[in-house]
Structure 1
């Protein structure tokens, strides 16, 4: 089966500072992976590289077999349409209600663009699907509420519904509970992982909580100073091993390296 994400020998540099130093990993279809690492280790650069927002110095990224490098604008747009995103800061449009924010998940395939996402020209099928997505995350009764009327956990649920509206095959979740209190954070992770498994999606999720990484992830990938230091099933990891990701030389600027040719 074609892997959901395949990264081979990724190098990214900013001037003489080498941020990704030969990163390689493969995520099979239907696997939920947690990415760990201290601030400054290169996680954010890796996450941006996975959808083509960060230019690789060298290496190859394939999403379900489609290479990002060399892809035309239309090809890249098609690849991105198969990827759903959940962010730390929710990124909901404050002037719109929850239902309209979920409709934004269909923006890439809408003929009338923004008008469709506002619900003005959205098809009956898309409107029904948006409500179904809200129901999946327990927010159907808040469909007409604006983000300011929702708690942080509720806003993240709407963001997950918006992601579902995209019909993704791969989910990129970048610290999805960093802005939430522990109770709301656990509820969001319960929901996110349940949906990923029910829909048979693949996910790469960055977290900082080691206990949650072990509890939820099928697998843990740990980064340190631009390298992969750990890559193993979550059940085979222990706290002492994971703590090494946050001790010693952790930042990409801690070990100056010449830029690869």
Structure 2
């Protein structure tokens, strides 16, 4: 089985502060993995490293065999186009309709960029695909609604449709239910995991809820103090072992952006 994401002894530092201290793992194509760890363990730094937003001190990251460190700007854009994102804060454009936000998923394939995503130059095929993506997440009847007219769960569904529009091979979901109530959060996870499995995608999803991680994940990677502490298939996970990720935590990342990790 080919590898979707490979991390080889990844290290990231901010000055003298070591944030990632030799992180290594391999996610095969088609596997859904949950990344766990307490605030400040380095999860967000790792997630930013996966698309080249963090400079590695040493080590290597490969996405479907392509090394980020060796990629030219053109190659890096190509690698990023195969990676779809679902964020905690939805990141929808408030002035655009749900339909137009979904069209944004195709922006990376167009020289005209945003104009195509506003529907000004989008092809009939792309417009039909955007509607199909909204239908897939149960939001076709809200296509012309702006984000302010939608609930949090509905906004996250639109964000998932936008990710689908991109046609990614790898999904990075960073706390996708942190802004939702428990009922809406479970509905979003049901939808997200169903789509990932039906499409044969690979996913790395950060969560804090241990019960949901055990319920949805094929495998769990647990981080503590910048290192991988647990890496096991869900059937082999000891729940008591998971709890140790949150005991005696030493914060390794003092950067402000890690606070929400």
Secondary structure of 1:208's aligned partner: coil
Q: Give 5+ residue unaligned stretches, structure 1.
A: 255-261
1:167-218 CA-partner distances (Å, limit 9, x unpaired): 0000000000000000000000000000000000000000000000000000
TM-score scaled to structure 2, two decimals?
A: 0.96
Give the unaligned 5+ runs of structure 2: 255-261
Q: Which residue of 1 aligns with 2:247?
A: 247
Q: Does 1:46 align with 2:46?
A: yes
Q: CA deviation at 1:55?
A: 0.5
Q: CA deviation at 1:250?
A: 3.6
The residue that corresponds to 2:229 in the other structure is 229
* 1:252 CA drift (Å): 1.4
| Corresponding residue of 2:62 | 62
Task: List 4+ stretches of structure 1 deviating above 2 A.
Answer: none
Offset of residue 220 of structure 1: 0.2
Per the TM alignment, residue 135 of structure 1 is displaced from its structure 2 partner at its CA by 0.4
Taking the TM superposition and a 5 Å limit, the aligned residue runs for 1:28-177 are: 28-177=28-177
Q: Distance in 2 between matches of 1:234 and 1:51?
A: 26
Between the aligned partners of 2:129 and 2:36, the Cα distance in structure 1 is 34
Secondary structure, counterpart of 2:3 in structure 1: coil
Q: Which residue is equivalent to 2:220? A: 220
How high is the TM-score relative to the length of structure 1? 0.96
CA-CA distance at 1:253 after TM superposition = 5.9
Aligned residue number for residue 258 of structure 1: none
* Residue 179 in structure 1 maps to residue 179 in structure 2: yes
Contact 1:94-1:146 within 8 A present in 2 as well? yes
Aligned-pair Cα RMSD in Å = 1.0
- Offset at residue 109 of structure 1 (A): 0.5
SS at match of 2:131: helix
- For the 8 Å contact 2:217–2:234, the answer to whether it is kept is yes
CA contact (8 A) 1:175 1:207 kept: yes
User: Quick one: distance in 1 between partners of 2:125 and 2:177?
Assistant: 31
Instruction: Give how far 1:236 is off.
Output: 1.8
**Greater shift after overlay, 229-238 or 186-195?**
229-238
Distance 1:79 1:249 in 2: 34
Residue 38 of structure 2 contacts residue 249 of structure 2 at CA under 8 Å; is this kept in 1? Answer: no
Contact 1:38 1:250 in 2 (8 A): no
Q: Secondary structure at the match of 2:211?
A: helix
CA distance in 1, matches of 2:241, 2:67: 33
Q: Which residue of 1 aligns with 2:23?
A: 23
Query: 1: distance between equivalents of 2:111 and 2:42?
Result: 37
Structure 1 residues 187 and 57, CA, compared in 2 at 3 Å: closer, same or farther? same
Q: Number of residue pairs matched? A: 254
Secondary structure of the 1:71 match is coil
Judge which range, 180-189 or 231-240, deviates more. 231-240
CA distance in 1, matches of 2:250, 2:130: 42
**3-state DSSP class of the match of 1:249?**
coil
